[in-house]
Structure 1
Amino acid sequence: MDYINAFWVGGLICALVQILMEKTKLMPGRIMVLLVCSGAVLGALNIYQPFQEFAGAGASVPLLGFGNLLWKGVKESIASDGFLGIFMGGFTASAVGISAALIFGYLASLVFNPKMKK
């Protein structure tokens, strides 16, 4: 059942974002920022954690989950480091995921032949 919940919740998030992209004139970069900020706000309001526990990877993998991860890192860092935690928390919480994306992207560029669009 966990797989089914992750599938339909992740699909619903993606479908809503696709509708937002098609029906508004917002650029994709702005939509991405909106999703990350929304995830952080929902995490701050303690709404996202129960949602993530229900949906699993369907809620943690999209950009909403990344915003929630940033919020958790900032919150934990503020508790341990005080005011400076505002600046450090998001970096420490997301460092592994961002590093993995960079490394695997680089490895994929070695395996495949990337080309610029014309």
Structure 2
Amino acid sequence: MMDYVNAFWVGGLICALVQILMEKTKLMPGRIMVLLVVTGAVISFLGWYEPFQEYAGAGAGVPLLGFGNVLMKGVREAVDEQGLLGLFAGGFKAGAVGTAAALIFGYLASLVFKSKMKR
């Protein structure tokens, strides 16, 4: 039961902090998303993300911080296997499934809900 509680409050805290960042700064949403991915990658690089994700579960793995962690893990593995070339290939390989799923499900949702441009 505590796994669910920890995932809920950690994920909620991340979302609340991002919402405050959106409300109190003039940063565009795209820049905030990039900031989250880079923050997740840096935390992963420092070795802090695994204990954080073990404690928070999906509350840490689902937000964009988790995507940064996935990219960094892919880069780390590819560099170990391929050397410097893995620096460029690892993130693409690790993030390909999630990116492809987002594109496919986004397209299917646009067909079902007849999306329109904002005015």
Sort the TM-score into its range (normalised by shorter chain).
Answer: over 0.9
Q: Which runs of 5+ in 1 are unaligned?
A: none
Which amino acid is the alignment partner of residue 95 of structure 2? Answer: S
TM-score normalised per structure 1: 0.96
Q: Distance in 2 between matches of 1:45 and 1:103?
A: 33
Question: What is the CA deviation profile of residues 55-109 of structure 1, one whole-angstrom value per residue up to 9, with x for unaligned ones?
Answer: 1111011111111111000000000111100000001101111111111111111
Q: Distance in 2 between matches of 1:30 and 1:108?
A: 24
Moved over 4 A (4+): none
* Offset of residue 11 of structure 1: 0.3
* Offset of residue 112 of structure 1: 1.4
Paired residue total: 118
* Offset of residue 12 of structure 1: 0.2
Question: What is the CA deviation profile of residues 16-74 of structure 1, one whole-angstrom value per residue up to 9, with x for unaligned ones?
Answer: 01111111121111111111111111000001110011111110111111111110000
SS in 2 for 1:25: coil
TM-score normalised per structure 2: 0.95
Q: Distance in 2 between matches of 1:117 and 1:27?
A: 17
Q: Distance in 1 between matches of 2:113 and 2:13?
A: 31
Which amino acid is the alignment partner of residue 37 of structure 1? Answer: V
Residue 112 of structure 2 aligns with which residue? 111
Residue 63 of structure 1 aligns with which residue? 64
SS in 2 for 1:90: helix
When structure 1 is superposed on structure 2, of 23-32 and 98-107 the one drifting more is: 23-32
Q: Distance in 2 between matches of 1:36 and 1:97?
A: 14
Q: Distance in 2 between matches of 1:36 and 1:52?
A: 15
Residue 83 of structure 1 aligns with which residue? 84
